Chain A
């Protein structure tokens, strides 16, 4: 079964564009407690607070002694607690996919050979799975640029939309 570890970024950005349900559809989703606490404290979103009720989501405490061996490596990237816990968890759950929009966390995870993708990838994946129509996926990408707090250049969004159209 596909396993996913999700950081605060995709949860917040998908919530901001009204597409949090895309993460709910993933077969096995792991959220470190630190990430869950972060989003609970930092957002007013009622939807984000329902994550505990998702059937395939598990909120897990991270801090196994064996994983501490990764700490010296991860420290080099100056990551926050949530990102650090996500990488520990994804490393422990390998093979699994780590979902983040944090550039430093992405680089650190890739160096550990962890598969990493961001919110744009999740929208493209949802389109391929037919959870979103072409119009809905295009709208989600446009909203990601206009309505979410994710910083992304519009030309990149435009290119992503073109790629969806070619596929669809």
Chain B
């Protein structure tokens, strides 16, 4: 994993003509944003926040995708575990 990250960092620096520190700053920003959306979706799927609040915080597309994934995985689990 460490080697992959180093390689990716070098490749990104080459492609974007930027220094490693600028790329890392951008990566942290994107990573934090993704973690935040993930956390909101988790709260919504566990029914700790309302759908409206989840949409406000994470966006409609992300909420719809999470709902679709939940439905699909429920069906997969029912089949896999022998209840479908």
Contacts and interface: CB of A to CB of B under 8 A. Distances in A.
Interface string A149-165: 00011111011100110
Given A153-B42, A153-B45, A117 B70 contact: no
A111 B30 CA distance: 36
A121 B76 contact: yes
Q: Is the interface of A mostly helix, strand, loop or mixed?
A: helix
Interface residues of A, number: 25
A106 interface: yes
Contact of A117 (B41, B45, B79): B79
A124 B76 contact: yes
A121 B79 CA distance: 7
Interface residues of B, number: 18
A155 B80 contact: no
Nearest to A163: B77
Contacts of B81: 124-125, 127-128, 163-164, 167
A126 B79 CA distance: 11
Interface of B: 38, 41-42, 45-46, 66, 68-70, 72-73, 75-77, 79-82
Interface of A: 103, 106, 115, 117-118, 120-128, 152-156, 158-160, 163-164, 167
14 contacts: A103-B68, A120-B73, A121-B77, A121-B80, A127-B80, A128-B80, A152-B73, A153-B41, A153-B66, A153-B70, A156-B66, A156-B69, A159-B73, A163-B81
Given A121-B76, A127-B80, A155-B46, 6 more contacts: A106-B72, A117-B79, A120-B76, A153-B70, A155-B41, A167-B81
